[in-house]
Structure 1
Amino acid sequence: MHTKTPQPRTLGDHTWRDQAACRSTPHHQVDPELFFPEPDEVDRITAAKALCAQCPVRSTCLDAALENGDRDGIRGGMTEEERELLHGKLEHRLNYARVNEVLAGRDIHLTKAERRAVVRAAYQADIPAEQLARMLKITGEHAGKLYRRTRREIRNRAVDQQKKANEAKKTPDNTPQALKNPTAKLPARDDLGTAA
Structure 2
Amino acid sequence: MNNTDNQTPRTLGDHTWHDRAACRSTTHHQVDPDLFFPEPDEMDLIRAAKALCAQCPVRGICLDAALENGDRDGIRGGMTEEERDPLHRKFQHRLNYGRVNAALAGRDIHLTDAERQAVVRAAYQAGTPAERLARLLKVTDEHAQKLYRRTRREIRNRAVEQQKHANKGKDKTNRQFTAMKESTANIPSRDDLGTAA
Q: Which residue of 2 aligns with 1:169?
A: 170
CA distance in 2, matches of 1:75, 1:178: 64
Alignment of 1:123-142 (within 5 A): 123-142=124-143
d(CA) in 1 for partners of 2:141, 2:58: 36
Instruction: Extract structure 1 runs of 4+ deviating beyond 3 A.
Output: 174-180
* Aligned position for 1:9: 10
8 A contact 2:25–2:31 mirrored in 1: yes
- Give 1:182 deviation, angstroms: 7.4
Deviation at 1:177, TM superposition (A): 4.4
Tell me if 1:66 matches 2:59. Answer: no
SS of 1:88's partner is helix
Q: Distance in 2 between matches of 1:117 and 1:137?
A: 15
Larger Rg: 2
CA shift for structure 1 position 176: 6.0
Residue 149 of structure 1 corresponds to which residue in structure 2? 150
Q: How does 1:71-90 map to 2 (within 5 A)?
A: 71-90=72-91
Structure 2 distance, partners of 1:57, 1:125, is: 34
Deviation at 1:7, TM superposition (A): 1.5
Query: 1:59-85 CA deviation, whole Å, 9 max, x = no partner?
Result: 110011011111100000000000011
- Percent identity among equivalent residues? 75
- Cα pair 2:5 2:98 within 8 Å, conserved: no
Are residues 118 and 79 of structure 1, via their aligned partners in 2, closer, same or farther at CA, if it must alter by over 3 Å?
same
Query: Which residue is 1:21 aligned to?
Result: 22
Distance 1:95 1:4 in 2: 7
Where does residue 190 of structure 2 map in the other structure?
A: none
What is the TM-score normalised by the length of structure 1?
0.87
Q: State the Cα deviation string for residues 54-110 of structure 1 (Å, max 9, x = none).
A: 111111100110111111000000000000111100010000000000001100000
Q: How far does the alpha carbon of each residue in 1:145-184 deviate from its partner, in whole angstroms, 9 at most, with x for none?
A: 0001101111111111111111112336x84644662797
Q: Partner letter of residue 120 of structure 2?
A: V
Instruction: Give the structure 2 partner of residue 103 of structure 1.
Output: 104
Counterparts of 1:16 and 1:90 in 2: how far apart (Å)? Answer: 21
What is the CA–CA distance in structure 2 between the aligned matches of 1:127 and 1:62, rounded to whole Å?
32
- What is the one-letter code of the residue matched to 2:125? Q
Partner Cα distance (2:46, 2:32) in 1:
13
State the distance in 2 between where 1:98 and 1:149 align.
Answer: 22
Structure with greater helix share of residues: 2
Pick which of 124-133 and 158-167 moved more.
158-167
Distance 2:5 2:64 in 1: 17
Aligned pairs, number: 181
Structure 2 regions of 5+ residues with no counterpart? 186-197
Offset of 1:6 from its aligned partner?
2.1
Higher relative contact order (CA 8 A, sep 6+): 2
Gap change, CA 1:131 and 1:90, over 3 Å in 2: same
Q: Which residue pairs with 1:56 in the alignment? A: 57
Q: Which residue of 2 aligns with 1:192?
A: none
